[in-house]
Chain A
Amino acid sequence: MAPPKGGYAPNLDKFLDSLKGPVDTSVEFLIALLKRRQIKGSEPCAVATARILLQVVAKEKWTDVDQLIERIRVVGTRLVAAQPRELVIGNVVKRVLRLIRDEAMEDRNEAGGDSSPASPASMLPTPIVESIPDVKPFRPPTLNSLGSFARTQSMFSLLADPDVAPPLWSNGTTPAAASGTSTPLSRTALSQATNISALRSEVIDGIEEIMDEIKQVDDQVQTYADIIIHPGNYILVYQPSRTVQKFLTRCKRKFNVLLVVDPSTATSTEDLYASFRKSLVAGGSTVVKVMNTGLMAYMPRVNKVILEARAITATGEVVVDSGAASIARAARQQGRTVIVVGGVYKLSPDSQANQTIEWGDPSKYVNFSDGQMVGHVKVKNAVSESVPEADTYLTNLGANSKEYLHVIIEDHYKEEDIGLDLYGTIRK
């Protein structure tokens, strides 16, 4: 998963170095890197997106929240357009947008409290939200405090009183709100310079927290290893990523690992997983290497299949590395548990993974010097695939079922941001 070391091709590290320059240059550079797939994989993409948005918030001039949100939307939409298959980019942008909205709303509540109250129409927060003004600074409000209360209201939006404060849910998913032209924020005391600098630092802190969260996913997910893996289990993993490797090595029990490797990658290098094997064997576990073709013979013995998610959608579809989908299918066919591992930042509020299958470079399978083949055969190589559903979704917040994913999504995203990247092309 880590970007290849050496060479002169730009990668994530180069991009992070470039952040010292002007913001616009960095944005363009990142877009180019994403388009050329020189930053790839969900974690590097998420980190890069968070870093660039941090720069936008910190360095650019903006005088009110509307401007900032609009700016983030424009940058975010372009990043998403540069690599539409990587859902985490959109996720991070939406998380940041939510963060800004939350901070802005909180500021307004405070302002409304001690200054002369603004006219009811311009007060976005409903009474329900006002009654809990001390939502923790950088955490999305928990379901108990805001989520469920707001949801309860949602069913009544049909009958809500239009003369009272506009309800929370009314600004979501309408064309106007989705296009970002009339975000009904600010225009109140917020435009004061003091508030802006406070808001800026709060948003920056928030984005840094998101980055920390991305960084800590591995460690947090690891803690569930002993719950998931039981002594003597046969665990099947496919080309384990760093997260999955750490997850398995953390487990203090003796168990068996079936390490499935795609033959095309196995031949190219000596052993990608040497250290991983070594640490597992040191712990008393057994590691069996399985070539992809022999997989089905082992399936009846397998207790759990652990796969790393590239992204998870709202409906429970999982985007995985190519090859993993057939393993998941084989496992489900035989009634084996499929566990998907991935940070919450990979959980996307969108519900359409069938658009995320990415086709990539087939040179691994067909040599370019083979003129006959190149000239007459169209070779397609899937980089990522989609699994319709898994049994357990293991995130840094714990193990969840498919039915519970929407609650996590509600806690991390705002409805008005969900449609961000899907509204056509930007007019420039």
Chain B
Amino acid sequence: MPIAAIEALIEVLGQSQVATVAETIDLVETQSAKLQCAVTNSIALSHGTHLFRQYLVMSLKQPGPEGKETSTQKNFDIVRQHLLRNGRLFAQRAKNARERIAVNGRRHIHDGETILTYGGSRVVGTLLGRAAEKHDFGHFVDDPIRFKVIYAIDPALETESNKVIAALRAKGVPVATIPATAVSYAMSKVDMVIVGADAVTANGGIIARLGTFQIAQLAKENKKQFVVAAEQHKFGKTFPCGQFDYGFDQGVIDFRAGSTSTSYNKIPKETLAKPIDYTKPDYVNMFIADHKVLTPSEVAKEVIDMLL
């Protein structure tokens, strides 16, 4: 989603005739707002648009790419040209980020471990899949890691999960599927929990599929590592103060009363297609991002650095 938002903004930038910095920033802001209005859950999207805006501000503030002081106008043209030219590249980079996460994450998975995961994250799927493969770097050979996976399944995410599970099993990784309700039961057999995230918040917490928070709490209770695999472009300045501070209503909690089923089925409250929850940084041990492995406090620092 963040990447799609960035691509859309680049498209707008290409179509428009803006000629000054202020105009561009203005255009980006209005278009970002429009994008955010179009979806209910705009958190991941806003991280993308915000990153784009900050990049513009940042690169216009700095000396030109040759290291020489260029006039702002010239600098502006260079940056604009670069963005229009490389729109495709960003999507490609975002895709490559998953592979880089797999490389970074590999050394945190060890032989004989059991890993619990949840949801249909492609990042986690790639990470686990690559860990089960043999890698030959020329100087170094990485043998396949022999680990097991317990996959907690939520009926709402079943199709996505099944894709990942099939891919893992095809690679010879033993996968057990359990309902999300059995996580607590299975936790003592688990060495590490790895989940993906929709967005990473400014304090180093995560916003992920509904149910992730529960698993994080169970992992902490059982003193298991809770690891988040997320690309760097998912980091952003969102700072929720709790589960009901997203700026939109998910419709998860819906009170009804009445004796017959018909009486409370009349006006079903609309539930968000992909409900989310927020996991505080206290529950996260480690982030595996595409550029490095970080602690939550390090994530917070990167986000603050971006905002400066």
Q: Which residues of A contact B (CB under 8 A)?
A: 120, 127-128, 130-131, 148, 151-152, 154-159, 161-165, 169, 172-176, 178-181, 314-316, 351-352, 355, 388, 402-407, 415, 418-419, 422-427
Q: What are 11 A-B contacts defined by CB distance under 8 Å?
A: A130-B67, A152-B58, A154-B305, A155-B51, A158-B233, A175-B103, A315-B285, A388-B223, A406-B295, A419-B107, A424-B141
The interface residues of chain B lying within 8 Å CB-to-CB of A178 are 103, 137
Question: Taking the nearest CB of chain A, how far is it from the CB of B113, in angstroms?
Answer: 10
B171 CB-CB contact with A under 8 Å: no
Question: Taking the nearest CB of chain A, how far is it from the CB of B81, in angstroms?
Answer: 9
The interface residues of chain B lying within 8 Å CB-to-CB of A403 are 295, 297
Closest to A409 in B: B298
Q: With contacts A161-B65, A351-B295 known, is A426 near B301, CB below 8 A?
A: no
Question: Measured between alpha carbons, how far is A355 from B109 in the docked complex, in Å?
Answer: 11
The answer, among A155, A316, A418, A427, for a CB contact under 8 Å with B302, is: A155
Q: With contacts A152-B305, A178-B103 known, is A163 near B82, CB below 8 A?
A: yes
The answer, among B139, B285, B290, for a CB contact under 8 Å with A427, is: B139
The interface residues of chain B lying within 8 Å CB-to-CB of A120 are 66
Q: With contacts A159-B6, A159-B52 known, is A148 near B305, CB below 8 A?
A: yes
B174 CB-CB contact with A under 8 Å: no
**Chain A interface: which of B87-95, B147-155, B161-169?**
B87-95
Closest to A317 in B: B285
The interface residues of chain B lying within 8 Å CB-to-CB of A422 are 107
Question: Measured between alpha carbons, how far is A152 from B62 in the docked complex, in Å?
Answer: 12
11 extra interface residue pairs, beta carbon distance < 8 Å, beyond A179-B140, A314-B295, A423-B107: A127-B62, A152-B305, A154-B305, A156-B55, A156-B59, A159-B6, A169-B291, A178-B103, A314-B293, A424-B143, A426-B139
Closest to A176 in B: B137
The answer, among B62, B97, B108, B232, for a CB contact under 8 Å with A352, is: B108
Question: Measured between alpha carbons, how far is A163 from B108 in the docked complex, in Å?
Answer: 34
Question: Measured between alpha carbons, how far is A272 from B58 in the docked complex, in Å?
Answer: 60
Contact A157 B110 (CB under 8 A): no
Question: Taking the nearest CB of chain B, how far is it from the CB of A178, in angstroms?
Answer: 7
7 cross-chain pairs, A with B, having the tightest CB-CB distances, nearest first: A179-B137, A127-B67, A403-B297, A424-B142, A155-B306, A164-B65, A422-B107
Contact A406 B297 (CB under 8 A): yes
Q: With contacts A127-B63, A179-B137, A423-B142 known, is A159 near B51, CB below 8 A?
A: yes
The interface residues of chain A lying within 8 Å CB-to-CB of B86 are 161-162
The interface residues of chain B lying within 8 Å CB-to-CB of A156 are 51, 54-55, 58-59, 306
Contact B232 A157 (CB under 8 A): yes
Question: Measured between alpha carbons, how far is A32 from B83 in the docked complex, in Å?
Answer: 55
Question: Measured between alpha carbons, how far is A163 from B295 in the docked complex, in Å?
Answer: 32
Closest to A156 in B: B55
B258 CB-CB contact with A under 8 Å: no
The interface residues of chain A lying within 8 Å CB-to-CB of B297 are 402-404, 406
Contact B302 A151 (CB under 8 A): yes
Q: With contacts A127-B65, A315-B286 known, is A157 near B140, CB below 8 A?
A: no
The interface residues of chain B lying within 8 Å CB-to-CB of A406 are 294-295, 297-298, 301
B274 CB-CB contact with A under 8 Å: no
Q: Which residues of B contact A (CB under 8 A)?
A: 6, 51-52, 54-55, 58-59, 62-67, 82-83, 86, 89-90, 93-94, 97, 100, 103-104, 107-108, 110, 135, 137-143, 223, 232-233, 235, 285-286, 290-295, 297-298, 301-303, 305-306, 308
Contact A172 B140 (CB under 8 A): no
The interface residues of chain A lying within 8 Å CB-to-CB of B64 are 127
Question: Measured between alpha carbons, how far is A405 from B296 in the docked complex, in Å?
Answer: 12
Question: Measured between alpha carbons, how far is A162 from B135 in the docked complex, in Å?
Answer: 27
Q: With contacts A155-B51, A159-B6 known, is A351 near B293, CB below 8 A?
A: yes
Residue picked from A156, A405, A418, A419, most chain B C-beta under 10 Å? A156
Question: Measured between alpha carbons, how far is A155 from B235 in the docked complex, in Å?
Answer: 8
The interface residues of chain A lying within 8 Å CB-to-CB of B305 are 148, 151-152, 154-155
Contact A158 B107 (CB under 8 A): no
The interface residues of chain A lying within 8 Å CB-to-CB of B298 are 406
Question: Taking the nearest CB of chain A, how far is it from the CB of B49, in angstroms?
Answer: 12
Closest to B298 in A: A406
The interface residues of chain A lying within 8 Å CB-to-CB of B293 are 314, 351
The interface residues of chain A lying within 8 Å CB-to-CB of B140 are 179, 423-427
Contact B232 A174 (CB under 8 A): no
Closest to A352 in B: B108
Closest to A74 in B: B139
Question: Measured between alpha carbons, how far is A161 from B58 in the docked complex, in Å?
Answer: 13
The interface residues of chain A lying within 8 Å CB-to-CB of B290 are 173
Question: Taking the nearest CB of chain A, how far is it from the CB of B28, in angstroms?
Answer: 13
Q: With contacts A127-B65, A158-B93, A415-B291 known, is A425 near B141, CB below 8 A?
A: yes
Question: Taking the nearest CB of chain B, how far is it from the CB of A421, in angstroms?
Answer: 9
Contact A151 B55 (CB under 8 A): no
Q: With contacts A130-B67, A423-B140, A427-B141 known, is A162 near B295, CB below 8 A?
A: no
Q: With contacts A127-B65, A158-B93, A159-B6 known, is A179 near B291, CB below 8 A?
A: no
The interface residues of chain B lying within 8 Å CB-to-CB of A405 are 295
The answer, among A130, A162, A165, for a CB contact under 8 Å with B89, is: A162
Contact A158 B65 (CB under 8 A): no
Question: Measured between alpha carbons, how far is A59 from B291 in the docked complex, in Å?
Answer: 35
Question: Taking the nearest CB of chain A, how far is it from the CB of B236, in angstroms?
Answer: 9
The interface residues of chain A lying within 8 Å CB-to-CB of B135 are 175, 424
The interface residues of chain B lying within 8 Å CB-to-CB of A404 are 297
Question: Taking the nearest CB of chain B, how far is it from the CB of A113, in angstroms?
Answer: 11
Closest to B48 in A: A158
Question: Measured between alpha carbons, how far is A164 from B232 in the docked complex, in Å?
Answer: 21
Closest to B91 in A: A158
Question: Measured between alpha carbons, how far is A165 from B233 in the docked complex, in Å?
Answer: 21
Contact B295 A154 (CB under 8 A): no
Question: Taking the nearest CB of chain B, how far is it from the CB of A244, in angstroms?
Answer: 27
Contact A173 B104 (CB under 8 A): yes
Question: Taking the nearest CB of chain B, how far is it from the CB of A142, in angstroms?
Answer: 15
Closest to B78 in A: A161
Question: Measured between alpha carbons, how far is A28 from B139 in the docked complex, in Å?
Answer: 20
Closest to B83 in A: A159
The interface residues of chain A lying within 8 Å CB-to-CB of B292 are 172-173, 415, 418
Contact B100 A158 (CB under 8 A): no
Question: Measured between alpha carbons, how far is A426 from B83 in the docked complex, in Å?
Answer: 41
Contact B67 A131 (CB under 8 A): yes
The interface residues of chain B lying within 8 Å CB-to-CB of A164 are 65
The interface residues of chain B lying within 8 Å CB-to-CB of A151 are 301-302, 305
Contact A175 B137 (CB under 8 A): yes
Question: Measured between alpha carbons, how far is A260 from B241 in the docked complex, in Å?
Answer: 44
